[in-house]
């Protein structure tokens, strides 16, 4: 019999119960017992839901209070020594690693955070050092397996495989963490033995690094590691799980591993099926990822069934596991909760719960040959409906694309010429600014909700926003910031706000997905051609600039980030959708300039995130991604200063592309890495201006003036002071006003202190 299986389920709950419980715990409104009770209730609910929908391999240990990589750090006893004072309070230590801690007695920065492969999920980066030892310090995988078993549900525990876990971490001096593999493996061996003795039949070993470009020594390590793990006494059957791409030249190694099964992503890389089937031993299970775990469109069940039949013809139906391409962590939970979606569009979509039904339908069809079910009928109707819908294609947008010229993606003058003209902005050495947003208080969110629900009229809502902007401008002036922002109080999300005003976008009520910790986002759905019916930000930017004589920075979200942080249509190349969006943002940029805004920031935090996982595909992506940014930004005069912002990325691999974007100023996240990310800009001799973040906004911790001044001095070792800006890592919307005021006061004072040092020493001459 063909089994319907799952790799992971969203943790947050259908109504974001985990988010609310976490934030209540952090605020001191509930205790640890209440938080853990919510966690147990969510796990049990999700296990039962999957079982009741016919999933045979239900995952466990896919739940996390913050991040599954951080869970593994804790599990193997790899917490950094700086958190040792908290070892007697494991929950407090856990959240200190994730968010930092500042309580009067202790001042602990958070661990570094970065993007999980090419997704918008953020993970905590493990910290390793030579000679490190490990031990089985947490029984979480075993505890949750037993918890499910006590509820009458047999689960398949999920572990991050030891090789991917090490490769996702960092060691000093760029050494490979794989030198620690022999020290780490006994922990996995002990855990697998415990799980086997507890009754686990399968364990899912997530090894997403298997789809990357791997040197031969890493491939040999895979063979060595799984030869050893497969020999553990009492160990369950192992399923090595890959996703987000194809195995490619790692196929032979993956197929040769002495494990019971291999999972592959046949949505991202259907072409890998043929070579894998050729290489796979006949006694292996093939977990076929044919339902998209990264997007929200209803599966083409006929096409998916075709792939499954090809697999079954080779390995046999009883050795095929029907699965999503990856964990459903990246999908919203339940489409049935969205009552306001247009019925036609609703019929085209599939969220996590719906995808479980699709998996069951595919398993049934492969077993019985019956494709007459309602699920298959809905799949065909959705496919035909999208193909023929008038709302998907816009002839005017197609005409705009044909009118693009090469000159539209070029600034009028080179950066040195622009820099001289932009001196008229009157900015000091080491100018200070913020990235864009200010705290979204409960009052701001409440008033916005009242307006959207019709309980508050437009005039009252606009008056409220004007008051918020007034206060934000006055605060920035009093703090001594050099370039101001209006605060973005009208925006719920940096992508959603723009999508709501662009054609071709749709929105859900409950389409939330986890970004990190308690931070959830509700990505727009791009279903059709993109255009801009009217200006989106000009009114508020113009109003804010009229309040002050200081430069006001207008904030936009860039086309690549809008693409990456939306659920994107899959019926045309992503590059085409991005070009359409770039043209819309270009119109907005020109309108802002005409309204008197001299500084315009076009945020592209996702440009590195969109980079293909295999180097061979990089140049094609970077070519159109850079073109889209330049198309959006290059229509302005030399006197207008274009900024962009990027966060939580490794820049070494794309520094030439960042330079090709030709923004006058790029601000980057760099505080958690202690300015380490600036090394790429220094080695490359990046020619334009840079604003490395001097404090981490994803933590409630307020860094001192001394700490930020020291980071600035580190930055000056890599960047000419005449090209250095001072700013936080990212927007401040998730923080509270007291934290923001204190941190910005320290930041401005730190900039002033270092500015005075430079002037006194004569380093800023010229």
Mean pLDDT of 415-423: 96
Same topology, domains 3-77+108-388 and 429-761? Answer is: yes
The confidence band for 683, taking pLDDT boundaries of 50, 70 and 90, is confident
Distance CA 615, CA 211 (A): 11
User: What is the arithmetic mean of pLDDT over 223-245?
Assistant: 96
Is the pLDDT confidence value at 7 over 80?
Answer: yes
Are the CB atoms for 178 and 218 separated by under 8 Å?
yes
Reduced to 3 states (helix: H, G, I; strand: E, B; else coil), residue 577 is helix
- Verify whether residue 698 is a known catalytic residue: yes
pLDDT tens digit sequence for 449-463: 999 889 999 999 999
- Those residues with Cβ within 8 angstroms of residue 232's Cβ, 6 or more apart along the chain or in another chain: 189, 192, 193, 196
Residue 676: pLDDT band by 50, 70, 90 thresholds? Answer: low
| Distance, CA of 462 to CA of 16 (rounded, Å) | 29
How do the domains of the chain map onto residue ranges?
3-77+108-388, 429-761
Average pLDDT, the chain: 94
Could you give the CA distance from residue 708 to residue 696 in angstroms, rounded to a whole number? Answer: 10
Nearest to 485 by CA among 286, 342, 645, 365: 645
Closest CA to 110 of 516, 604, 667, 714: 516
What pLDDT does 490 receive? 95
Fold observed for domain 3-77+108-388: TIM Barrel (3.20.20)
Per-residue pLDDT at 648: 55
Distances (CA, A) of 245 to 111, 248, 515: 28, 9, 21
Per-residue pLDDT tens digits for 135-181: 999 999 999 999 999 999 999 999 999 999 999 999 988 789 999 99
CATH (residue range 429-761): 3.20.20.210
Whether 677 has a pLDDT exceeding 70, the answer reads: no
Interatomic CA distance for residues 366 and 377, integer angstroms: 16
Q: Is 406 exposed, middle or buried (0-12, 13-18, 19+ CB in 10 A)?
A: exposed
Residues 468 and 461: their CA atoms lie apart, in Å, by: 11
Under the banding of pLDDT at 50, 70 and 90, the label for residue 21 is very high
Contact 8, 329 (CB under 8 A): yes
Which among 46, 330, 643, 698 is annotated as catalytic? 698
The string of pLDDT tens digits covering residues 591-605 is 999 999 999 999 998
């Amino acid at each position: 019999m063909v089994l319907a299986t799952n790799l992971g389920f969203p943790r947050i709950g259908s109504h974001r119960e985990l988010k609310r419980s976490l934030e209540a715990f952090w605020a001191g409104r509930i205790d640890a017992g209440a938080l853990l009770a919510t966690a147990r209730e969510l796990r049990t609910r999700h296990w039962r839901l999957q079982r009741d929908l016919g999933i045979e391999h239900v995952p466990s240990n896919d739940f996390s209070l913050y991040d599954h990589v951080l869970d593994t750090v804790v599990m193997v006893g790899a917490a950094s020594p700086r958190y040792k004072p908290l070892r007697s309070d494991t929950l407090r230590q856990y959240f200190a690693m994730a968010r930092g801690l500042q309580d009067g007695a202790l001042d602990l920065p958070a661990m570094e955070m970065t993007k999980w492969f090419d997704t918008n999920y953020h993970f905590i980066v493990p910290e390793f050092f030579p000679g490190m030892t490990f031990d089985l310090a947490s029984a979480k995988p075993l505890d949750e397996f037993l918890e499910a078993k006590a509820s009458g549900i047999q689960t398949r525990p999920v572990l991050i495989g030891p090789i991917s876990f090490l490769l996702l971490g960092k060691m000093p001096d760029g050494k490979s963490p794989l030198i620690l593999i022999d020290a780490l493996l006994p922990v996995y061996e002990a855990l697998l033995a415990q799980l086997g003795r507890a009754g686990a039949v399968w364990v899912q070993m997530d090894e997403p690094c298997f789809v990357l470009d791997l040197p031969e020594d890493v491939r040999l390590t895979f063979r060595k590691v799984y030869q050893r793990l497969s020999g553990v006494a009492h160990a369950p059957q192992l399923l090595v799980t890959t996703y987000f791409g194809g195995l490619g030249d790692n196929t032979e190694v993956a197929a040769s591993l002495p494990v019971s099964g291999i999972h592959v992503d046949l949505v991202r890389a259907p072409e890998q099926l043929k070579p894998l089937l050729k290489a796979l031993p006949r006694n292996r299970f093939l977990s076929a990822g044919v339902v998209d775990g990264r997007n929200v469109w209803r599966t083409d069940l006929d096409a998916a069934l075709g792939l499954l039949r090809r697999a079954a013809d080779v390995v046999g139906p009883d050795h095929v596991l029907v699965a999503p391409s990856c964990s459903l962590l990246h999908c919203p939970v339940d489409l049935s909760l969205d009552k306001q979606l247009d019925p036609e569009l609703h019929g085209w979509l599939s969220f996590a719960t719906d995808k479980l039904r699709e998996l069951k339908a595919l398993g049934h069809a492969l077993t019985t040959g019956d494709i007459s079910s309602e699920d298959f009928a809905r799949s065909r109707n959705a496919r035909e409906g999208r193909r023929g819908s008038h709302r998907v294609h816009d002839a005017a947008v197609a005409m705009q694309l044909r009118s693009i010229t090469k000159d539209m993606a070029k600034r009028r003058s080179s950066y040195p010429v622009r820099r001289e003209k932009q001196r008229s902005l009157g900015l000091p050495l080491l100018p200070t600014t913020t990235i864009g947003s200010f705290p979204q208080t409960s009052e701001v969110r409440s008033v916005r909700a009242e307006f959207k629900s019709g309980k508050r009229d437009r005039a009252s809502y606009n008056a409220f926003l004007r008051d918020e902007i007034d206060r934000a401008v006055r605060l920035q002036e009093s703090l001594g910031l050099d370039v101001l922002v209006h605060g973005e109080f009208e925006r719920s999300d940096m992508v959603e706000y723009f999508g709501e005003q662009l054609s071709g976008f749709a929105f859900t009520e409950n389409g939330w997905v986890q970004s990190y910790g308690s931070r959830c986002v509700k990505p727009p759905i791009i279903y059709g051609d993109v255009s801009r019916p009217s200006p989106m930000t000009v009114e508020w930017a113009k109003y804010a600039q009229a309040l002050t004589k200081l430069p006001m920075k207008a904030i936009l979200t860039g086309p690549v980030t809008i693409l990456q942080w939306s659920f994107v249509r899959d019926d045309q190349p992503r590059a085409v959708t991005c070009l359409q969006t770039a043209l819309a943002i270009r119109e907005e940029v020109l309108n802002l300039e005409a309204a008197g805004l001299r500084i315009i920031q076009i945020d592209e935090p996702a440009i590195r995130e969109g980079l293909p996982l295999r180097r061979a595909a990089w140049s094609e992506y970077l070519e159109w991604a850079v073109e889209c940014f330049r198309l959006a930004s290059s229509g302005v005069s030399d006197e207008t200063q274009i900024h962009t912002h990027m966060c939580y990325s490794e820049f070494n691999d794309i520094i030439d592309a960042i330079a090709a974007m030709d923004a006058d100023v790029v601000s980057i996240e760099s505080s958690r890495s202690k300015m380490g990310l600036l090394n790429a800009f220094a080695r490359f001799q990046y020619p334009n201006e840079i604003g490395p973040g001097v404090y981490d906004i994803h933590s409630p911790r307020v860094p001192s003036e001394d700490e930020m001044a020291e980071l600035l001095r580190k930055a000056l070792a890599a960047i000419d002071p005449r090209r250095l800006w001072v700013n936080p890592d990212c927007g401040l919307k998730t923080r509270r006003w007291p934290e923001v005021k204190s941190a910005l006061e320290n930041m401005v004072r730190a900039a002033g202190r270092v500015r005075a040092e430079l002037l006194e020493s004569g380093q800023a001459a010229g």
